[in-house]
Structure 1
Amino acid sequence: MLKLEHVKKQYKDFHLDCSLTVKPGMITGLIGANGAGKSTTFKAVLGLIRTESGMVELFGKRPEEITPEDKERLGVVLADSGFSGYLSIRDLIPVLKAMYHQFDQTYFEEQCRRFELPMTKKIKEFSTGMKRKLQVLAAISHHADLLILDEPTAGLDVLARDEMLTMLREYMEIEGRAILISSHISSDLEDFCDDIYMIDHGQVILHEETDTLLNEYGLLKVDGKQYERLDKTYVLRSRKETFGYSCLTNEKQFYQENYPDIVVEKGSIDELIMMMVRGDRS
């Protein structure tokens, strides 16, 4: 579906060098702190910024080979974009019909009713959650094969985020579709994504299947003496704490079996991110 190989973009105080792959039938997450490079990566994919080097391949084609028909296979929501606030949804429908040959007006209107989006109210009067749901609905209502969603859950309350993710799970029920989604709220993606890329300062620092992250990665809590005698072969990062050390491992079972006296915690994706970004290499 989508492949990036060492796509590079240099700004004054930021350098992007990103490689990732999104496969059919997969939901791929791109997580990292604000400013880590998520939005820059998405803009590079969409050709909204000029990159210095690297390769972007979309639907098996290079950017110069992409046709208008290929572009209609994309559904896009960017963090810093949206519809004119002076339009209503009723005003927006003919615009979407003109943009997308496959726009499904019946489905779109049904979903607007389902998610209680008023048809005649000005979009500028919508809440943040309503605006986000409208953007995602517009992106999926023309039967796109690949969704590129930059921070679609940002600013949403718990209920609105759940509704958003339900909408996207239903979208993925059709075979062959894929989603690339970014978020700095990594807990949103733990039960949603099939695999996750972690980006920091423009560099991908980790890529794993979500099940592997949640089942095989863990945090070791050790005091100074335990840390000294610890086999650090499978320790990815360590960090000094008041009680001793926290250590991130991708072989949790090894330490559970060989060091029964130390504390081994499962760790959330947020904690894994913190250790990968703030911890010291072992």
Structure 2
Amino acid sequence: MLEVKDIQKTYPKFKLDCSLEVKQGQVTGLIGQNGSGKSTTFKAILGLIRIDGGSIMLFDKPISQLTVADKEDVGVVLADSGFSVFLTIKDITPVLSNLYSNFDKEFFSKQVDKFELPWNKKIKELSTGMKVKIKILVAMSHGAKLLILDEPTAGLDVVARDELLDILREFLEKDEDNSILISSHISSDLESLCDDLYMINQGKIVLHEDTDVLLSEYGMLKVNEDQFAKLDKDYLLKVKKESFGYSCLTNQKQFYLENYPDLVVENGNIDEVITMMSRGDK
């Protein structure tokens, strides 16, 4: 559905060099620290910035060749985008009807009522969670096949995040071919939603893994100096010096459980992978 191949974008203090793929019917997550290149990648995919090299294919077409109808098949939520804060949901509904040829007013209205969003309050009066829900519902309400969501859960409390994830799951259930590309720094969101994950660090993809593989086969070893000296390091991805000795990230957790039964081997999670891949040594 979406193929990003070797795209490059150079700024005075930052360079993006990135490849990723979103397959039909799947949810792909892009993870990384703030400033790692997530938003730049999304803007490149959407044609909001001009890339210096590489290619971006969407619906089997270069993005420069997408028609208006093709673009309507993409629903987008960016952190710095939205409607005028002086409008209400009632105000924006006819705008959306005129903007999108496939806008489903009935679906949009039912979802607004389902999530108890106020029709007549100005957007500036709404909570952060309500504003995000409106963005998501708009992105889903014009027949989109692909959602591109940049940090949609940022600033939301636990309940609002859970409701938002339910909305996204409904989008996936609506059509088994629907796909999502999402970035988030909240690991629990990605662990429960994404089929696979790309990690970007300093503009480069440093890891791509199926989510279930990351959660089942990755692990963190906590070892002292003596244990580290005797450790087989062939299956260590990153090592970080700690006060007690070393933290070691591996994608072969079972190997160390079987061959080093006295070691502390913790299950891997997305937060630790981000930290170790960003700050650990090779």
Counterpart residue number, 2:88: 88
Ranges in structure 2 where 5+ consecutive residues have no aligned partner: none
Is residue 9 from structure 1 mapped to residue 4 from structure 2 by the alignment?
A: no
**1:45-84 mapped onto 2 (5 Å cutoff):** 45-84=45-84
Partner Cα separation in structure 2 for residue 39 and residue 57 of structure 1:
18
Counterpart residue number, 1:168: 168
Counterpart residue number, 1:154: 154
Partner Cα separation in structure 1 for residue 42 and residue 115 of structure 2:
27
Counterpart residue number, 1:97: 97
Partner Cα separation in structure 2 for residue 133 and residue 64 of structure 1:
30
Structure 2: which amino acid aligns with 1:47?
Answer: G
Counterpart residue number, 1:233: 234
Partner Cα separation in structure 2 for residue 249 and residue 263 of structure 1:
13
The number of residue pairs the alignment matches comes to 281
Q: TM-score, normalised by structure 1?
A: 0.98
Q: Residues 142-196 of structure 1, C-alpha deviation per residue, up to 9 Å, x if partnerless?
A: 1200000001000000000000000000100111110000012222211110000
Is residue 179 from structure 1 mapped to residue 180 from structure 2 by the alignment?
A: yes
Asked whether the equivalents of residues 104 and 142 of structure 1 are also in contact (C-alpha less than 8 Å), the reply is: yes
Structure 2: which amino acid aligns with 1:148?
Answer: I
Is residue 112 from structure 1 mapped to residue 112 from structure 2 by the alignment?
A: yes
Structure 2: which amino acid aligns with 1:141?
Answer: S
Counterpart residue number, 1:266: 267
Q: Residues 96-132 of structure 1, C-alpha deviation per residue, up to 9 Å, x if partnerless?
A: 1111111111110111111111111111111111000
Asked whether the equivalents of residues 187 and 270 of structure 1 are also in contact (C-alpha less than 8 Å), the reply is: no
Partner Cα separation in structure 1 for residue 131 and residue 88 of structure 2:
11
Q: Residues 192-247 of structure 1, C-alpha deviation per residue, up to 9 Å, x if partnerless?
A: 10000111111111010000100000001111111001100100001111111110
Ranges in structure 1 where 5+ consecutive residues have no aligned partner: none
Where does structure 1 differ by over 4 angstroms across 4 or more consecutive aligned residues? none
SS state of the match for residue 132, structure 2?
A: helix
**1:16-55 mapped onto 2 (5 Å cutoff):** 16-55=16-55
CA drift of 1:267 comes to 2.7
Asked whether the equivalents of residues 26 and 179 of structure 1 are also in contact (C-alpha less than 8 Å), the reply is: yes
Structure 2: which amino acid aligns with 1:196?
Answer: L
**Alpha carbon RMSD of aligned pairs, Å?**
0.7
Partner Cα separation in structure 2 for residue 21 and residue 272 of structure 1:
20
